[in-house]
Amino acid sequence: MDYKQKVTAALATALDGQLTADEISAKLERPKTSDKGDMAFPTFTLAKVLHRAPQQIAQDLAEKLDQTGFEKVEVVGPYLNFFFDKGAYSEDTLNTVLTDGASYGQNEAGNGGNVPIDMSSPNIAKPMSMGHLRSTVIGNSIAEILTKNGYHPIKDNHLGDWGTQFGKLITAYKLWGNEADVKADPINKLVEYYVRFHKEDVDKPELDDTAREWFKKLEDGDEEAHHLWEWFREASLQEFNDVYDELGVKFDTYNGEAFYNDKLAEVVQILKDKNLLVESQGAQVVDLSKYDLNPALILKSDGASLYITRDIATALYRDRTYAPAKNLYVVGSEQTYYFKQLKAVLQEMGVKSADNLQHVPFGLITVDGKKLSTRSGRIILLAKVLEESVKLAGEEIDEKNPDLPNKAEVARQVGVGAIVFGDLKNERTNNIDFVLADQLKFEGETGPYVQYSHARAESILRKAGKVDVQAAGNQIDDPEAWDTIKTLADFPAIVKMACAELEPSVIAKYAIRLAKTFNKYYAHSKILTEDAELPARLALVKAVSTVLKESLRLLGVQAPDEM
């Protein structure tokens, strides 16, 4: 039963057309504590319409209300506080969760619409640092949330496998490189050359000219340049995939920037045909003054393409291939202006899905307050952080539960899950200062805390053994269970909200809230007492386990049954 709808209907009748159902529904609030009711209606806004004090309006409404199906309705100052029928509400909620299982909260609002998600997108020949974590895990979680809401996400790892950095890398390799060294330790050696290039080009600006020449050769199909590029790309992908495997992230396509090289000419031609290209100091730009934006630089004076040239080709390809319902770019907040320019150019070109293009920004991840940078050599390798986190999780398990079966696998689930959850519990536009020890705590608002709460629920169910938990007759009158039941009932709305806001933290914060209410219930109630309400209590435990596991799955985090 939709109690929000029930409250809305009762109020609409009592108000006799003075507010629409939608207006009433929008004003309903959730009291902070259950002793103030389960849903509240404030009467402030009616005071101007009815020319009476809010408290009096609340009192008059209470007398007119049909209170059938509610435990009671109380007037507290200007608020009408509705108390739900706990028995009926708990039975309805628990039966729905048990019947639906992992599908609880699933909806078809997306109607199967395709949603390409540009995410992760590391640069070839550079290691995956902590700086790559956010786009990867935020994009992956958004894909899971979209699927839960009936969309068809297409995770596109738009690899940075083209651009002037390859001119710099080839120049550095030609000057200081050694084939045997690179084969022995590809990524670290290539980064070493790249960092050296940026140190030396401060006093030797001619290095930048050489790098530009090499990139132009690469674009023109030079055999040596192409051979080196292909070698660097293959070596990088092998290392990237090791990290993705550890994170449990899979992609539908790896179409990097190079994939679009043969599609750039068409982009330039379309821009010319629509009279959008304007010459500026020898370069070709699109005037975006009508959008209150700076001109978009499409071709340099030497004819070389830029990021935006390739991104236009990418958007055009996705438009034709997927006819996107949404077209998402999970890229750092510092690129917000760039995506405004990209969207404006696509709109000028008349690309169908341009209006659906959406930048999904996120804040920086810092370590000790300092930004990470490959160029300056300040890199914290993501693979090393994951490895260390798994190691520390293993030590924690050895100390607390040395006889745990599959210790290594559980340590991996907890260690990796701690990193992923630690990122996603933050609103994505916030900056994060990373501290590994804080992420791994088993108390507080952490991944291990939520995982442990799920494992505790599974442990209770194992101890109950023979008791059959079924979707029927699950009425619970225990007031200690009430917050947990209401939180379970919130899940479908939470799934919709996370999708509307493209915000994984909505799910993460919900999972923490559910874990807290369940642990409070566990601490105050004897669940396994043999009495008539035992199956209903176990139904509650099963429902919590189901929803916690599904919440973690939507974040890309696994839920071990034992910890």
CA distance 262 to 555: 37
Residue 374 scores a pLDDT above 70: no
pLDDT score recorded for residue 224:
97
Residue 423 scores a pLDDT above 90: yes
In the structure encoding, which two tokens stand for residue 379, read together? 């890199």
Please compute the mean of the pLDDT values over residues 48-61 and round it to a whole number: 93
In the structure encoding, which two tokens stand for residue 495, read together? 């799934």
Mean pLDDT taken over the chain: 93
Comparing 269 with 303, the larger pLDDT belongs to 269
Please compute the mean of the pLDDT values over residues 362-391 and round it to a whole number: 81
Q: At 164, phi and psi to the nearest 5?
A: -65, -20
DSSP-assigned beta bridge partners for residue 225? none
Please compute the mean of the pLDDT values over residues 425-449 and round it to a whole number: 93
* pLDDT tens digits along 521-554: 999 999 999 998 899 999 999 999 999 999 999 9
The gap from C-alpha 99 to its chain's centroid, in whole angstroms, comes to: 27
Give, as one character, the DSSP assignment of residue 44: H
CA distance 561 to 456: 8
Of 3.30.1360.70, 2.30.30.90, 3.40.50.10490, 1.20.59.10, the CATH number of 3-84 is: 3.30.1360.70
Q: Are the beta carbons of 140 and 251 closer than 8 angstroms?
A: no
In the structure encoding, which two tokens stand for residue 87, read together? 């028995």
* pLDDT tens digits along 252-292: 999 999 999 899 999 999 999 999 999 999 999 999 999 99
pLDDT score recorded for residue 483:
94
CA distance 250 to 499: 20
Q: Are the beta carbons of 297 and 306 closer than 8 angstroms?
A: yes
pLDDT score recorded for residue 460:
97
Give, as one character, the DSSP assignment of residue 440: T
Q: Which CATH superfamily is domain 385-555 in?
A: Isoleucyl-tRNA Synthetase; Domain 1 (1.10.730.10)
114-260+324-371 adopts what CATH topology? Rossmann fold (3.40.50)
387 confidence band (pLDDT: 50, 70, 90): very high
pLDDT score recorded for residue 191:
87
CA distance 416 to 388: 10
Please compute the mean of the pLDDT values over residues 505-520 and round it to a whole number: 98
- The SS3 call for residue 154 is strand
Q: At 426, phi and psi to the nearest 5?
A: -85, 140
Residue 95 scores a pLDDT above 70: yes
pLDDT score recorded for residue 484:
97
Comparing 224 with 195, the larger pLDDT belongs to 224
pLDDT score recorded for residue 377:
58
pLDDT score recorded for residue 27:
95
Comparing 231 with 474, the larger pLDDT belongs to 231
What whole-number percentage of the chain has pLDDT above 90?
Answer: 81
pLDDT score recorded for residue 64:
94
Comparing 54 with 238, the larger pLDDT belongs to 54
List the chain domain ranges.
3-84, 114-260+324-371, 385-555
CB neighbours (10 Å) of residue 174? 13
* pLDDT tens digits along 312-333: 999 999 999 999 999 999 999 9
Query: Are 114-260+324-371 and 385-555 equal in CATH topology?
Result: no
- Whether the model pTM is above 0.85: yes
Write 107-110 long-range contacts (CB < 8 A, 24+).
Answer: 107/148, 107/149, 107/150, 107/492, 107/495, 107/496, 108/149, 108/150, 109/149, 109/150, 109/496, 109/499, 110/146, 110/149, 110/150, 110/151, 110/152, 110/325, 110/499
Residue 375 scores a pLDDT above 70: no
Cα dist from 232 to 75, 159, 358, whole Å: 70, 13, 31
Cβ burial, residue 520 (10 Å; 0-12/13-18/19+) = middle
Instruction: Give the number of C-alpha atoms closer than 13 A to the C-alpha of residue 147, restricted to the C-beta side.
Output: 17
Dihedral over Cα of 299, 304, 307, 310: its sign: positive
Residue 235 scores a pLDDT above 90: no
Measured distance between the N- and C-terminal CA atoms of the chain, rounded to whole angstroms: 36
How does DSSP assign 218-263, residue by residue? HHTT-HHHHHHHHHHHHHHHHHHHHHHHHHT---SB---GGGGGGG
Look at residues 158, 150, 145, 147 and name the one whose alpha carbon lies nearest to residue 117.
158
Q: Are the beta carbons of 97 and 106 closer than 8 angstroms?
A: no
Residue 372 scores a pLDDT above 70: no
Residue 437 scores a pLDDT above 80: yes
Angle, vertex CA 546, rays to CA 542 and CA 552, nearest 5 = 145
302 confidence band (pLDDT: 50, 70, 90): confident
373 confidence band (pLDDT: 50, 70, 90): low
Residue 1 scores a pLDDT above 70: no
In the structure encoding, which two tokens stand for residue 410, read together? 């559980």
Helices 307-322 & 336-349 angle (0-180, nearest 10): 60
pLDDT score recorded for residue 2:
81
pLDDT score recorded for residue 462:
95
CA distance 563 to 400: 9
Lowest mean pLDDT among 113-122, 150-159, 230-239, 517-526: 230-239
Q: At 398, phi and psi to the nearest 5?
A: -55, -35
